[in-house]
Structures are given as C-alpha cells and as structure tokens.
A and B are shown apart, each in its own frame.
Chain A
Amino acid sequence: MNLGESKKFMYSILLMLTALFSSLILTIVYLGVKPSIVKQQKEALNSTLKTAWADQKPIEADSVSALKPFIYTIGGSVKAEIEKHFIVKDQGESFLVKSTGRNGPIKTFISLDTAGNVLTFDIIEQAETKGIWENANRGYKTKIGYRDLSAVNLQGTKPEKGQVDFRIIANSKPNQIQSGATLTSTGIRYAFRGVYHFINSSTYTGQLPKGGQ
C-alpha cells in the first residue's frame, strides 16, 4: 500500500465516521420526535375521517397524501371517500375508506378505539395489481391474492351484542366460496386482524379485536 492509497483509505474511514455520527444524531432526534409524529398522524386521521363522514364530503387529495401511513392510493392521490361507517358501542368505530389514485381505487378498513387509537388499517380490496396489494400490506407475508378478497364486500347489518355491527358477505358463487373458503377466511383474518367466526359458506361475522395491536 503506497502513501496515496493509505490516504484514500484514511479519507474513506473519515467519511464513514462522519456519516455514522450523522446517523447517530438523526436516530436520537427521530426517537425523540416519534411520539409526537404518531400523535399528529392519529389526530389527523381521526379528524379527517370524522369530518369527512359528518360532512358527507370526499377527502381531498392533499389530505389523502397526508394520511399515507393509513390510506394508500396507486398512482398518486386523487381523493378518498368513506363508503361505510360502523359504530361499535363502547369499543370504537370503523370506517371503510375508498381511496382513489390515478390507477384505480383501493378500499381500506380502519378501526379506531374510543380514544381514537388506530386498531387496524388494512387494505381489503384493490382493483389492480396483486403485487401492489402485497406490498401495501407490508408486514403481512400473505400469499392470498387480492382476487379472493375482491369477491368480498362489506355490508352493514344491525348491531348485535358482542359482535361488530358489520358482516362480510362473500358474494361469489357458492362453490367458489366453498373452494376458496380457507383462503378467504384467512384473507379476512389478515385484513381485519381480529377474531372472526365462520358462520356458513357465504357469511362471516366478527368481533372487534380487544386492545388492538
């Protein structure tokens, strides 16, 4: 190793140390700020969803972009609409949000507890690519295709004691549901992250997860 090379080596080490020091500072700052960021996101999500539902107006593109951790779009944000709203007595409320990007809509199911904490936010239906669906559900290594889930629609029903006031009704043909029952029920479990009971081949009902995750 000649002198030039040793100098280059030293400079590289120096640069790496600077970058490491910078990363350390940023990590400390991030850890310090994170609770506040999460609080802000929670407040933004709560107020946006509740205001949009109360006013019966779509959520504007800017707000959709701001809610990115919870609401996804494909191909940029265009708008989002709350399709359904469910109130679970003493447990919280849920919103079915249809967010539309330039490449089609995505439906996300968001459950909040009474304090406004986000219990679940999961994509349940997407029009386009399977790959994006799997990416969007980051953290879930599910092999279930969105097509299984796209056959599932949410339909509101009357609240019953101990149950969430919605039902998931698979609206495909009975034999398809039968053959896809495992996949679909697993998919729903992934999608809702809750405790669900299989009632019959075409209808599911569920309970809101206690405590949240």
Chain B
Amino acid sequence: MLGEHKAKDLFFSGIIKNNPTFVLFLGMCPTLATTTTFQGAFGMALITTLVLTMSTISVSLIRNIIPSQIRIPVYVIIIATLTKTLELLMQGYVTSLYQSLGIYLPLIVVNCIVLGRAEAFAQKNKLLPSAIDGLATGMGFTLSLSVISFLRELIGTGSIVFPNYLDPRQLLFSIRFFPQQYAISLFTTPAGAFLTLGILAGILVWVQVKIQERQILQEVPGTRLKNNSAPEGGK
C-alpha cells in the first residue's frame, strides 16, 4: 500500500517540482496555442488532465498483460480512444468549448506529457500511484496553463471573460481590470505566449534556486554560497 507521505510527495512533485510546463517543458504546443483565453486554456487543461489520469490508470492496469515490444502502440491506441471519446462527448454536450479548442483537442493524442507519464511511470507502478501521478501531472499542467492564459488575457485585453461551458450565452464571470486602450495586444499573439512562458519559467527557476540556497544555509550555518559554481582554478 502506498504510504501517506509518499502519496503526498508524488502529488506535489507532479504539480510543482516536476511541473510539466515550467520545469519539464513538455506539451508546449497546446501551452502556447490555447492560452490566448483563460476559458479555452482551462478547458484544454481539464480535458488533458482527464485523459492523463485515465490513461495512466489504464496503462497501469494492463501493464502485466501487454508485451513490452508492443507497449507503445497499445498506449497510443488507449490514449487515442480516450481522447476521441472525450472529444465526442464535448462535441455533443460542450459544443462551444469543443469549437474553441479546434485542432488542439485531437492533438492531445500526441501530447508528450500523456505518453511520457504512461511510459515513464504508469507502466512500472501499481494502480494507485499511477492514478495519483496522472492526476498530479494533469493538475500541474492545469495550473501552468491557467496562470499563463490568465496573464495573457489580462494584459492583452484588460479583462477576463469566462463563459458557462454548458451554455455559452451565459457568462460565469467577466471582470474588467483596466480599460482596453491600455491593453498590450502583443500578449494575445504567439510572441506574447513565448514571452509569458519565458518570464514565468524564469521566475519559477529563480524561486527554486532561492529555496535551495535557504535550505543549504539552514542545514550548514555559515556556508557562503557562490554565484559561480565553476571549480576553483578551472578555466
């Protein structure tokens, strides 16, 4: 049975320590393309999380039955089936989101986060850890996409609009933070996506470095940290 601490570690590792977007830089295509609006990115991330969790569960369940020689095509079939199933359900019941995601929805099949977690984790682990890993990675992806899209829509348009997925004529909320004339429309373009991603990834790395430095200082008081990690006397 999975220990409580291990489960917690696994969960937070997927969300923060091994965040698929900011740390591992996986799934860049949907990250850059669907983060124009907060509602689109959030929907995309939710669907990816569902596919991720269900695929890791499925792969974990059949890991002892499938010969290793054909495991990759089988994983692809599983992921494609799950993606297509969700796509059909969205087409039937959440049409506005289905239309706004467009081609990026079927492209979840080739999202390297999904296949990556199936291959790197689920095929070696039991059901519960695999499910936690899939869910945590998905939540990490959701968090990243939400932050990027929120900033892009906010800076690019000055407001955040979030419709009801089930009834697009109704808005769940629409908040204007500043007049549109002050918005920087560059952030709604692909260039803005790269810019936002780069800045956020930089901030995250800086925070992680600072945390590590503090940990080292706490463990060994009086230690002086050097910015240059090159060995002394090296050229």
Contacts and interface: CB of A to CB of B under 8 A. Distances in A.
A7 B88 CA distance: 36
B88 A26 contact: yes
Given A11-B67, A11-B69, A44-B95, A18 B77 contact: yes
A2 interface: no
Interface residues of B, number: 19
A62 interface: yes
Contact of A15 (B73, B80, B88, B92): B73
B102 to A, nearest CB: 9
B67 A25 contact: no
A15 B66 CA distance: 10
Contact of B92 (A19, A22, A36): A36
Interface in A22-47: 22, 25-26, 29-30, 33-34, 36-37, 40, 44
A33 B70 contact: no
A18 B67 CA distance: 13
A34 B221 CA distance: 67
Interface string A56-73: 000000100010000000
Nearest to A38: B92
B67 A19 contact: no
B99 A29 contact: no
B91 A33 contact: yes
A29 B85 contact: yes
B81 A26 contact: yes
A24 to B, nearest CB: 10
Given A25-B85, A33-B88, A15 B93 contact: no
B85 A15 contact: no
B84 interface: yes
A11 B70 CA distance: 7
Contacts of A30: 88
Contact of B91 (A15, A25, A26, A37): A37
A26 B69 contact: no
Interface string B73-113: 11001101100110011011101000100000000000000
Contact of B95 (A26, A34, A40): A40
Contacts of B67: 11, 14
Going nearest first, the 7 A-B pairs with the smallest beta carbon separation are: A36-B92, A33-B92, A22-B81, A11-B70, A40-B95, A33-B88, A37-B92
9 contacts: A11-B69, A14-B74, A18-B74, A19-B77, A26-B81, A26-B84, A29-B84, A37-B88, A40-B92
Interface of B: 66-67, 69-70, 73-74, 77-78, 80-81, 84-85, 88-89, 91-93, 95, 99
